[in-house]
Amino acid sequence: MKKIILFTLISILIFSTFSFAQIKIDRFCQVAIDPKNGMTSKTVATISFGLVDSLFFFKDSSIIINLKKVNELRSPTDVLNYMSNLGWALVSVIPFGNLTTHERFYFKKEFETTDLGIQN
């Protein structure tokens, strides 16, 4: 009888350690490409994380620092390559306004809740 109880307890402990899965959450951001000074051919990129800061909070501050470097980029190709290097996936490209130089790029990346400071 003791062997059965011991076997049952060991089995429960082994299976319970494998049952803890990390919960993953998608985070999105927008990169706007607009003319630098009104109607010029030069463009500038601007990244947006949304209006509620707490929804885009990371334990590692270097994530935000790296993303803000997008604001220094000048071409859509540079933005796409840079965001891809950071592990972000392109979700959608939307032309904005009447000019073809206005574009909105939407990116997403999957994070574990431990990276976001969210408790399971």
106-120 pLDDT per residue, tens: 999 998 887 776 644
The token duo for 35 is 């003319």
Q: Exposure string (b/e) for 59-73, b if CB count within 10 Å is 16 or more?
A: eeeebeeebeebeeb
- Asked if the model's pLDDT at residue 45 lies above 60, the reply is yes
CA–CA separation, 92 and 103 (whole Å) = 10
Place 7 in a pLDDT band, splitting at 50, 70 and 90.
Answer: low
Q: Where are the domains of the chain?
A: 23-116
Distance (Å, rounded) from C-alpha 65 to C-alpha 53? 14
User: 87 or 42: whose pLDDT is higher?
Assistant: 87
